[in-house]
Structure 1
Amino acid sequence: MTLTDGRRPGSRGVAADHVSLRRNNLSVVLRHVRDLGPRSRARIADDTGLNKATVSSLVAELVERGLLREGRADSSRALGRPGQLVELGGSAVCGVGAEINVDYLAVAALDLSGDVVLEKRVPVDVAHLDPGTTLDRFAELVQEAVAAVDARGGQLAGVTLAVPGLVQGETGELKLAPNLGWGELSVAQEMRTRLGEPTYPLHVDNEANLAALAAYADLRQTEDGPVHDLVLLTGAVGVGGGVVAGGHLLRGGHGYSGEVGHMPVAPPGRTCGCGRTGCWETVVGLTALLHKATDRDDPVRDPSLDVEQRLAGITRRAEAGDARTLSALKDVGIWLGIGGAILVNILNPDVLVLGGYFAVLGPWLREPLEKAIRERVIAPDGGGCRVVRSELGFAAAVRGGAQIALDRVFVDPTMIGRSETGVAQ
């Protein structure tokens, strides 16, 4: 017998092929359980097309690596002895996501099952600090999350850093973050130095992209069926967008997609953080709302307060029927609808997800947005697009960052060592 490239059994190449095939099949089984929930070995074999003996062997190895665990009996079997379900384990395998934004720093550590090990956000007026000071504080927050993973005896799959700007993911270079006032900064290398040249993988990405990945994971299965295409709008001082098309994050030719806040759709007026006028975020960003709804000395403008505290103040005023607040929300909602309809016309997503402050104030923003989609989207019934509010709030980017780090395990489960006790080594 010879392989298609002429190699014979017993060669080093054949052994490598077997290792690669085994790794791939482990990944197939692990991702299948992640995406579809607890499954019996027989069901996994039926679903994936792998034979039952192979699946039993793969599941046994994943259990040894602490990535799957035995669950309850399979009650769906009508005849014969009920099979045992297997489910995601991996409580000791964790990923960390951390975010820099205009007025806060945040971090989250998740285990392989998606359970939160640590989640923290601290108000910081980043826009008025120099990058070095901000990165010093950021590194302290990341180290706190890594310590929380270590304290539970966990294995860290990696750390993903989220920043609001143009990022070259392969190098970790931040090209421009207009609302931070940063440009041409090697965030990855600066953070590696501050973290003591760590051995775990460290990656830098755009915060809206990570938030979109978190929203996609959250909406992977809904009452209306699976979501394969979505646009996430994340609102803070700046406005970003993340696009998932056919289940894959759309990054663009050079990795700079999603800068929807700088679509030139607004009338010339207030200057955007990027130095231009007419950008969408000048009429829908949080700064725009606060300028319309509050006076300069209003506490909700204080960046030393947590952003959710500030938004709670706006919510109370809206619920009380404050005319100025409601007028500002209506105005932002109308502009949100104008830009949102453009995106729906171009991308035709299943779902338009409101994230960040748009999600918090969604009860007042959603109606004009949906009205604009009905009126301005050329496809019938708004192209079938639904508007939903993200349940992840301001944690979306850090959750997405932690998931990106954990994805390495789902791609290559063999990076986690075996253990007879089924705990990751």
Structure 2
Amino acid sequence: MQGPDRPADHAGLRKANLALVLRALRSDGPQSRARLARMTGLNKATMSSLVAELEQRRLVRLGAVVGGAIGRPGQLVELRPRTVCGIGLEANVDYAAVAVLDLSGDLVLHRRVPTDVAGLGAVGAIDLLAGLAAEARRTVEAMGGWVAGVTAAVPGLVDVDGGVVRFAPNLRWRNAAVVDQLSASLDLPAGRIAVDNDANLSAVAEHVTGVAAGATDLLYLTGEVGVGGGVIADGRLLRGATGFTGEVGHMPLDPSGADCGCGRKGCWETQVGLGALLRSVAEEGDPIRDPSLDLEKRLATIVSRAREGDKRTLAALERIGAALGVGASILVNILNPAAVVLGGYFAVLADWLIAPAERELTARVVATGAEQPGACRLLPSDLGFTAAVRGGAYAAMEHVLTDPTLAPVPAPGNRWELVPAQSTVDSRR
């Protein structure tokens, strides 16, 4: 017969309480131990013990002393910066990227490498990601930190439990064993490495820290070569029966339309994907259509032309904005989100895309308008092209947020040093 005094029960309860305190600090910021005890329902003695262990594991530190209305002044407990970190990776059609975030969500490092990822093949591209992750890990360890995990973002159908990208049409990947290859390259256990859909991870980042932070129901749309959707429903990432929720770019809006990379015709992606944008705004031979140039520079040229009133550019953005609104209206009618967050190039060109998109939403969404308080908002992301890789870093830290005892106790004399955040875009190919 099992009773409540078994050691395993106590160990499990302590892990749960450590996680409760850590999540409270992450969501609500620095708190005194007394305040944490009230927030969590734990007694003060237990809270003091939990904070001491979290401090020993370098997950938290003691901060400023603050006075209360009654009683003795209390010392704030806060997440320790630049110590336990998550690494996010991203493989997209024309770039690979890495980001490192600490427990509080501060950016420690970001690097994007423009390259023909699809041309590398799955094995070559995963090797590139492994190299970026290894470099990021060295940065974290050089400052005395510890890597909680690594999560890669890929645009396609991802078997999260198996660690395999089943199909990524724009990358031309099938059954790519991402987790196994990264684990072997990085010498990290597979349990600390994961792969997920890029739109899913972008939705996670937006939910945690973006323009719709805290929204319990939101839809994130990627505006890249592929168009994907990440859905947060009731505060949780929606995955579906086989984990493939969000392949919205392949909604058949025009069954007799243009060929899509997935092998079908008339997908939404053929109307509003990055390729459709570039073909619409520029003739063949225009530098905007040169895939060897950094995407953000090409988008900056489009912005410049739009601001100068270039007729072709403005007409193209009007058409794409309207097509964006038509597709989004279908999703809003089905999902009823509080916000649709536009990522990738949709965010960069939001000044010209949102107005025609909103006209279509107003015309086509059943529950809309002033008579519907809290009607869906169309919001440009402020995370730019870093949303997916940030979401990967957030996801990579879930291991420690769920079980803080995974964070090792540093050896004596191991000091955690702060370093400034780094962000780079390589010009090398």
TM-score between the two structures when normalised by the length of structure 1: 0.92
The aligned counterpart of 2:326 is 338
Q: Are residues 45 and 219 of structure 1, via their aligned partners in 2, closer, same or farther at CA, if it must alter by over 3 Å?
A: farther
Q: Residues 115 and 373 from structure 1, CA distance in 2 versus in 1: closer, same or farther, beyond 3 angstroms?
A: same
How far is 1:181 from its partner? Answer: 1.5
> How far apart, in 2, do the equivalents of 1:33 and 1:264 lie?
45
1:33 corresponds to 2:25: yes
Task: Compare 32-41 and 51-60 and name the one that shifted more.
Answer: 51-60
In the other structure, the counterpart of 1:58 is 50
- For residues 173 and 7 of structure 1, what CA distance do their matches in structure 2 show? 39
- Higher mean C-alpha deviation, range 64-73 or range 338-347: 64-73
- State how 1:60-209 maps to structure 2 within 5 Å: 60-74=52-66, 77-193=68-184, 195=185, 197-199=187-189, 201-209=192-200
Q: How far, CA to CA, are the matches of 1:421 and 1:61 in structure 2?
A: 17
For 1:256-306, what per-residue CA distance to the aligned partner results, in whole angstroms no more than 9, with x for missing partners?
Answer: 011000011136222111011110010000100111110111111112211
TM-score (norm 2): 0.91
Instruction: Determine the C-alpha separation between the residues in 1 that align with 2:134 and 2:408.
Output: 24
Separation in structure 2 between the aligned mates of residue 329 and residue 8 of structure 1, nearest angstrom: 66
Deviation (angstroms), 1:421: 7.7
| Cα separation, partners in 2 of 1:221 and 1:143, compared to 1, 3 Å | same
Deviations 1:73-126 (A, max 9, x none): 335x33333322211115221111111001111111112222222200011122
Q: Which amino acid aligns with 1:192?
A: S
Partner of 2:295: 307
Structure 1 residue 400: Cα displacement: 0.6
Q: How much does 1:221 deviate? A: 7.7
| 3-state SS, counterpart of residue 130 of structure 2 | helix
Q: Return the alpha-carbon distance in structure 2 between the equivalents of residues 304 and 138 of structure 1.
A: 19
Is the 1:96–1:160 Cα contact (8 Å) retained in structure 2? yes
Deviates further, 259-268 or 282-291: 259-268
CA distance in 1, matches of 2:210, 2:182: 32
Aligned to 2:420: none
Identify unmatched segments of 5+ residues in structure 2: 417-429
- CA deviations on 1:238-269 (whole Å, 9 max, x unpaired) are 10110011111001111101100001113622
- Contact 2:156 / 2:168 at 8 angstroms: preserved in 1? yes
Corresponding residue for residue 362 of structure 2: 374
Larger CA deviation: 366-375 vs 405-414: 366-375
What does residue 3 of structure 1 align with? none
3-state DSSP of counterpart to 1:99: strand
Tell me what 1:265 maps to.
Answer: 253
Give the superposition deviation at 1:56: 1.9
Deviation by residue 1:198-242 (Cα, 9 ceiling, x = unmatched) = 3472111111111110111114986xxx41111000110110110
Tell me which residue corresponds to 1:394: 385
Unaligned runs of 5+ in 1: 1-5
Matched, 1:248 2:240: no
Please give the per-residue CA displacement for 1:52-89, whole angstroms capped at 9, x wherever unaligned.
222222112111111111122335x3333332221111
Mapping of residues 219-298 of structure 1, within 5 Å: 219=210, 226-266=214-254, 268-298=256-286
Distance 1:400 1:196 in 2: 20
Deviation at 1:423, TM superposition (A): 6.0
Query: In the alignment, is the contact (CA less than 8 A) between 1:161 and 1:401 conserved in 2?
Result: yes
1:8-47 equivalences under 5 Å are: 8=3, 14-47=6-39
Q: Alpha carbons of 1:279 and 1:144: their partners in 2 closer, same or farther (altered >3 Å)?
A: same
Distance 1:347 1:410, change over 3 A: same
Q: Give the alignment's Cα RMSD to 1 decimal.
A: 2.0
> Is the 1:66–1:423 Cα contact (8 Å) retained in structure 2?
no
> Residues 160 and 401 of structure 1 are in contact (CA less than 8 Å); yes or no, is this contact kept in structure 2?
yes
| Secondary structure of the structure 2 residue equivalent to 1:388 | strand
- The change in CA–CA distance for 1:364 and 1:153 in structure 2 (over 3 A counts) is same
Q: 1:52 to 1:363 in 2, by over 3 A?
A: same
- Answer yes or no: is the 8 Å Cα contact 2:212–2:341 preserved in 1: no
CA distance 1:250–1:343, shift in 2 (3 Å): same
Distance 1:19 1:238 in 2: 46
State how far apart, in whole Å, the 2-side matches of 1:188 and 1:252 are: 21
Partner of 1:7: 2
Code of the residue aligned with 2:165 in structure 1: it is L
| CA contact 2:144–2:414 (8 Å) conserved in 1 | no
1:240 maps to a residue whose letter is G
CA distance in 2, matches of 1:279, 1:156: 40
